[in-house]
Amino acid sequence: MTIASPHLGSPAGWTDARLLYALEEVVENELNRHLKVAKDWMPHEYVPWTDGRNFPGQFEDGEAWGKEQSKVTEIGRIALVVNLLTEDNLPSYHHEIASLFGRDGAWGTWVHRWTAEEGRHGIVMRDYLLTSRAVDPDKLEQFRMSHMSEGFESDNRHSMLHSVAYVAFQELATRISHRNTGHQSGDPVCDRMLSRIATDENLHMVFYRNLLKAAFELAPDLTMQAVRDVVVNFRMPGHGIPGFERAAAQMAIGEVYNLRIHHDDVLQPVLRFLKIMEIDGLGPEGQKAQEELGLFMGGLDAEALKFDEKLAARKARMAARDA
């Protein structure tokens, strides 16, 4: 580490500034690793341009949009809109992490690199949606204007450590959401595009997950409390999208993202990697956070089981009706 750390069992002396400085070397190493494994790709290569045609407009004649023009399923359409509108708020996300992590040194290099990579996602998704006529272009733009006009403020903007913990889970959640959307879309072209995006999101998750592991080595009590807070209060950055609650419910039923997926495929993999329940030597507050985290995960698993049962019953009813 770049500075001598305070006593590991005590939060005394740790501030955001000190943690940023102490983690700079880890950030540099993770940045170099990321740049070696990340592959550049061209958004335009994933778009079916030959399927495109004009929409009606002020300067061109065109064909009005209709659902029947697209191969994408209804659940795929809903999830694609949510995923794209979430990506659209990239300027706000950049502002958040640049304010927290800074624009200098390894931290700053990462902030700008991450933003550049994320920018591809919105570009390719919008081009795909418009070219393939998967969504109503007028409504999509109206939603974008409404969502971006509200801006975005992270629930964790008060703390660098909370923010690192949040994005470690959120990047994985985004990867899972994109991947499952592709599987449910009904269009192999869409599936390939979202698979490419999901690969990026996974690399971003690995960066933050490894950074979080290093934070545990420096300040275990504070990091445990941050993880506890983030897991208990987790919500996706797209929660401000118009109609998000209804769309989220449809995505849950459509098995794009639901409680079971959140528990099994997002929270558990990160917590297992960190060996969160095996960390010892914690002070009273760290131990309390660890215990509360374990209790919460048990309760979430029970809630997910209830959801599984309801979903299975719903599928059985639909199968009986179709028969």
**Cα-trace Rg, the chain:** 21
pLDDT at 6: 40
CB 147 within 8 A of CB 89: yes
Q: Please give the DSSP secondary-structure letter assigned to residue 93.
A: H
pLDDT per residue as tens digits for the range 2-51: 333 344 444 557 888 899 899 999 999 999 999 999 999 999 999 999 99
List pLDDT tens digits, range 135-146. 999 999 999 999
| Domain boundaries along the sequence of the chain | 38-47+66-322
**Range picked from 71-80, 88-97, 145-154 for highest mean pLDDT:** 71-80
pLDDT band per the 50, 70, 90 thresholds, residue 321: confident
Predicted confidence (pLDDT) at residue 289 exceeds the cutoff of 90: yes
Q: What is the mean pLDDT of residues 293-300?
A: 96
Residue 87 annotated as lining a ligand binding site: yes
Q: Answer whether residue 323 shows pLDDT above 80.
A: no
Q: Is residue 24 part of an annotated ligand binding site? A: no
Phi, psi (degrees; rounded to nearest 5) at 59: -120, -10
At 148, list the tokens.
């971006």
Cβ pair 187, 76 in contact under 8 A: yes
Residue 171 among known ligand-binding residues: yes
Contact residues for 312 (Cβ-Cβ < 8 A; gap 6+): none
Residues 176-198, mean pLDDT to the nearest whole number: 97
User: What is the pLDDT averaged over residues 77-98?
Assistant: 92
Per the annotation, does 201 bind a ligand? yes
Please write the tens of the pLDDT for every residue from 232-257: 999 988 887 888 899 999 999 999 99
- φ, ψ (nearest 5 deg) of residue 150: -75, -25
The closest alpha carbon to 304, from 257, 260, 261, 269, belongs to: 260
DSSP 8-state symbol, 21: H
Query: Is pLDDT of 212 > 70?
Result: yes
pLDDT band at 1 (very low <50, low <70, confident <90, very high): very low
Tell whether 158 is in a known binding site: no
Q: Does residue 68 have a known ligand-binding role?
A: no
**Class level of CATH domain 38-47+66-322:** mainly alpha
Rounded Cα distance between 298 and 305, Å, is 11
